[in-house]
Structure 1
Amino acid sequence: MTSQNTLRAVFWAVLVIFLAWDFHTSPAIDLRFEAPLIAAGSGQAAQGGHCSMPSGK
């Protein structure tokens, strides 16, 4: 293997290991508390993205 191929293989190996570690250690995503995609960057609150959720009032 050439030096460039070795570096490429190391890069992908480290990336895959990092993604596996991140997936394993991160808590599960609760989609009910995620902001709607359309609101990304709009300054809207990041909670209550679904109108079907009870308001708790």
Structure 2
Amino acid sequence: MAPNWRTSSYTKSDSCVEVADNDPNEIRVRDTKAHDGGVMSVHRSTWTTFVEYTKCS
């Protein structure tokens, strides 16, 4: 499945990451400025735990 990359609506510059969450099994994350610099893939449940943690911080 081709990733559908997006950035957060809270982003005010190009110094962030892009997330592709359209795959049912994994979430992909990459640097906004370095698309060819690599992609980190994590299991969907791991990503959910991370996002919930950041909301509490």
Report the structure, 1 or 2, having the larger helix content: 1
Report the structure, 1 or 2, having the larger strand content: 2
TM-score scaled to structure 2, two decimals? 0.24
